A and B are shown apart, each in its own frame.
Chain A
Amino acid sequence: MSVLEKADSGVAPRAGLVGRVPALAVLEYQLVAYRRTWRAGVFSSFLLPLLTMVGFGIGVGAYVESGVGGVSYLDFIVPGLIASTALQVAVGESTWPVLGSFEWIKVYFAQAASPLRAGDILGGHVAFVLFRVLTSSLAFLLVAALFGALHSPWALTTPLLVLLIGLAVATPVFAYSASVRSDSYLSLLFRFAVIPMSLFAGVFFPVESLPTALRWLAYASPLWHGVDLCRAATLGVAPDWSVPGHLLYLGAWAAGGWLLARACFRRRLVV
């Protein structure tokens, strides 16, 4: 029998949803690849929040007798840790995997030879990153709930908030990872962006304790906006900044990052 014998009607059948949204085929590929490693990740995605919560919330918290702004230290840092987990997972999944897909295993080039466009390839991979952000944050949320650190029904909105944080940081990082040719640049990103943000963007202490110049850096970082929103949600209090302001600011990072990343993907894939 001929390998290329056209089946049935002679017209290749188009799969419904994937036919309409080609990026879903890329997401599917990423999930198939993830199926090989997810078990190893599940344990650590519960262990890490557990350890940080015990270490910082209960260990350090024991010395912070007055709490922060009227809430216990554990309750104060839990939403911050949820937001910073979203940041770390989003950046982690948008650095090496993206560089590797261009430089090492070159799957993006294989995808670009199919009907997929640069935007589909980018969109499908970003969707996978959001999936990872969401599942990791849900693990954290679950541990937090067990510790009784969630105090408001608004906590139910945190999954949406972490998705927004994830999108706001993943898209510009995709652009960055698509523009560099060596992974030593990726470590720079962690050293000079991720770690400072995690430490100074309001996760462990209010940014008001920072000197003015640094405080403005914290305000500029997407993480602070995410932390403030998450904290408002889990504690059921008003955020320091207006909610639409936060959402718009993170949305602007996401939109700007998307346009930049798509341009970078096109430059690499269509030459």
Chain B
Amino acid sequence: MSKDGVLIRARGLVKRFGDFVAVDGIDVEVRAGEAFGFLGPNGAGKSSTMRMIGCVSPPSGGELQILGMDPRRDGPAIRARLGVCPQLDNLDPELTVRENLTTYARYFGIPRRTARERATELLEFVQLAERANSKVEPLSGGMKRRLTIARALVNEPDIVLLDEPTTGLDPQARHLVWERLFRLKQQGVTLVLTTHYMDEAEQLCDRLVVMDGGRIVAEGSPRELIERYSTREVVELRFGAEGQETFAGKLAGIGERTEVLPDRILLYVADGDAAVAEVHARALAPASVLVRRSSLEDVFLHLTGRTLVD
């Protein structure tokens, strides 16, 4: 760790695959103890960035420093202090839950006894203790993901990298994962995660960058980003089958901004109820009206003109 508490520092970081530029010159700083997020749609360059931080993908350009070391030279030493939870589980389905942890611990040179003790603790932590001796194969997606998280913690890492930690999980399983990650955060573990779920970013991240097309388009805490790029409230209007465009013109002047999506119109306003009253005053009768708080989804929409989840 450098003296200012910065664990990861990237300057003009680039990743190219042939002619394709996956990461196009990003600057990032992650400090000790924070939960840092890369938010963006698929193909934004989040996973490529994570792989560079994980020291399994050499940067094509720019600077990258992790724990004060250079990934090009000190890959194994850096990886020894990282915990990685990849996007796709790569557990061994034939081994037991416990064996997956103990064999992995050995890659870090952890003595067998310590590995066994840590496996017991970690299985307790991710609520898989009673499945310790069953094979991995029949476990549910959520259990496998929790086991992968436990595996990422087996070396007591300084930084935990989580690539799309809840993608593909059902809502209940997601909440269990979030809850465990929140616990880690409370214990002061530095978390770096990628996600294309705004609720995940809002729940877990102290600070995040919004990525699009390999670049960073905004940076801040979820609250800061919402304050900077969106209004306090959003009114969602749906106007039946005629198409939303017909009505968009009639809404002019209500709120700060209007976004017309294929299935609904979003009005960005300070006071949602007042805006709804104004809509009705103009004799418009939307099929449905919803007033809600602004979210990171609105930030992303404002910055890129597109929604996060396709």
Which residues 109-134 in A have Cβ within 8 Å of B in the complex?
Answer: 109-117
A113 touches B95 (CB 8 A): no
A-chain residues with CB within 8 Å of residue B114 when the two chains form the complex: 7, 13
Number of interface residues of A (CB under 8 A): 35
**Contact between A107 and B156 (Cβ–Cβ < 8 Å)?**
no
Set of chain A residues within 8 Å of B21, measured between Cβ atoms: none
User: From DSSP, what is the main secondary structure of chain A's interface residues?
Assistant: loop
A26 within 8 A of B: yes
Task: Give chain A residues whose Cβ lies under 8 Å from the Cβ of B290.
Answer: none
A110/B56 in contact, CB under 8 A: no
Contact in complex: B76, A117 (CB < 8 Å)? yes
Partner of B153, one of A3, A25, A271: A3
Tell me if B262 is interfacial: C-beta within 8 Å of chain A.
Answer: no
Residue of B58, B112, B155, B189 near A12 (CB, 8 A) is: B155
B246 interface hit (Cβ, 8 Å) = no
Nearest CB on A from B300, distance (A): 28
29 A/B residue pairs, CB under 8 Å, sorted by A: A3-B122, A3-B153, A3-B187, A4-B156, A14-B111, A15-B106, A15-B111, A22-B109, A25-B107, A28-B106, A29-B103, A29-B107, A32-B99, A32-B103, A33-B92, A109-B86, A110-B91, A110-B151, A111-B107, A113-B54, A113-B79, A113-B84, A114-B79, A115-B79, A115-B107, A116-B107, A270-B57, A271-B56, A271-B57
Q: Chain B residues near A181 (CB, 8 Å)? A: none
A271-B55 Cα distance, complex, nearest whole Å: 10
Identify which of B56, B91, B103 contacts A113 (C-beta below 8 A). B56
Q: Which B residue sits closest to A271, measured CB to CB?
A: B57
A58 to chain B, nearest CB (A): 39
Interface residue B77 (Cβ < 8 Å from any Cβ of A): yes
Task: Tell me the minimal C-beta distance from A53 to chain B in angstroms.
Answer: 33
> In the complex the two chains form, is A2's CB within 8 Å of B187's CB?
yes
| B75 interface residue per 8 A CB criterion | yes
* In the complex, residue of chain A having the shortest beta-carbon distance to the beta carbon of B93: A105
Interface residues of B (CB under 8 A from A): 17, 51, 54, 56-58, 75-77, 79-80, 82, 84, 86, 88, 90-95, 99, 103-104, 106-112, 114, 121-122, 125, 151, 153, 155-157, 184, 187, 189
Contacts of A110 on B, CB cut-off 8 Å? 86, 90-91, 104, 151
Best-surrounded residue of A26, A112, A113 (most CB of chain B within 10 A): A113
B58–A18 touching, CB < 8 Å: no
Complex partner residue of B92 from A107, A115, A269, CB under 8 angstroms:
A107
Q: Identify the 6 closest CB pairs spanning chains A and B, nearest first.
A: A114-B107, A19-B109, A106-B90, A25-B106, A113-B84, A110-B90
Question: In this assembly, does A39 line the interface, its C-beta being within 8 Å of a C-beta of chain B?
Answer: no
B292 vs chain A, min Cβ distance (A): 36
Kindly report which residue of chain B lies nearest to residue A269, judged by CB atoms: B56
A117-B86 Cα distance, complex, nearest whole Å = 18
Determine if A13 and B110 form an interchain contact, defined as CB atoms under 8 angstroms apart: yes
Is A18 a contact partner of B109 (Cβ separation < 8 A)?
Answer: yes
In the complex, A15→B151 CA distance in Å?
18
Q: How many Å lie between the Cα of A109 and that of B163 in the bound state? A: 14
In the complex, are the beta carbons of B153 and A15 less than 8 A apart? no
Give Cα distance in the complex from A114 to B152, angstroms: 9
On chain B, the residues within 8 Å of A2 by CB distance are: 187
Given A15-B109, A29-B106, 13 further pairs, Cβ under 8 A: A3-B187, A6-B156, A7-B114, A14-B110, A18-B106, A29-B103, A105-B91, A110-B91, A110-B151, A113-B84, A114-B79, A270-B58, A271-B56
Q: Which residue of B lies closest to A3 (CB)?
A: B125
A4-B184 in contact (CB<8A): yes
A191 CB-CB contact with B under 8 Å:
no
Contact A115 B108 (CB under 8 A): yes
- Contact yes or no, A105 B108, CB < 8 A: no
- List of B residues within 8 angstroms of A105 by Cβ: 90-94
CA gap between A74 and B112 in the complex, in Å = 47
Pairwise interchain contact B86-A113, C-beta atoms closer than 8 A: yes
Given contacts A3-B125, A22-B109, contact A115 B76 (CB under 8 A): yes
For the complex, what is the distance from the CA of A117 to the CA of B80, rounded to whole Å?
11
Q: With the chains together, A28 CA to B17 CA distance in Å?
A: 35
Q: How far does the Cβ of B269 sit from chain A's closest Cβ, in whole Å? A: 44
Min CB distance A149 to B, Å, is 37
Q: How far is the CB of B45 from chain A (nearest CB, A)?
A: 14
What residues on B are CB-neighbors of A33 within 8 Å?
Answer: 92, 94-95
When distances are taken between beta carbons in the complex, the residues of chain A under 8 Å from B17 are 271
Complex: A32 Cα to B112 Cα, angstroms: 13
Q: Which residues of B contact A25 (CB under 8 A)?
A: 103, 106-107, 109
Beyond A12-B156, A114-B79, whether A3 also contacts B121 by CB under 8 A is: yes
Is B92 a contact partner of A28 (Cβ separation < 8 A)? no
CB B109 to nearest CB in A, in angstroms, measures 4
How far apart are the CA atoms of A106 and B95 in the complex, in Å?
14
Assembly CA distance A107 to B94 (angstroms): 11
Bound complex: CA A110 to CA B152 (Å): 10
Distance of A121 Cα from B3 Cα, bound (Å) = 35
A22: chain B residues at CB < 8 Å are 107, 109
A115 touches B77 (CB 8 A): yes
What residues of chain B lie closer than 8 Å to A113, measured between beta carbons? 54, 56, 79, 82, 84, 86
